[in-house]
Structure 1
């Protein structure tokens, strides 16, 4: 997990994770047409901007 840098999730999806707060994870996600993210779960709250 690279904080503040775009990383490729798959060929059609990339994400950038921002510096986390105490209880909140913030990330940007870019989906190209047809892009799908994998289903997942985590214990913390998350705010995602697509």
Structure 2
């Protein structure tokens, strides 16, 4: 598994960085959207 850093929208004025472990970038984005809602993953990138 690889480590991905997600930049997510918490509400209209707040964002946060979070780390997820996933097999690929698409799965990492899906995990973020499952947690924070569809459309709230602003950016994602592999860390390692």
Q: More helix by proportion, 1 or 2?
A: 2
* TM-score bracket, shorter-length normalisation: under 0.3
Q: What TM-score does the superposition give when structure 2 sets the normalisation length?
A: 0.24
Name the larger-Rg structure. 1
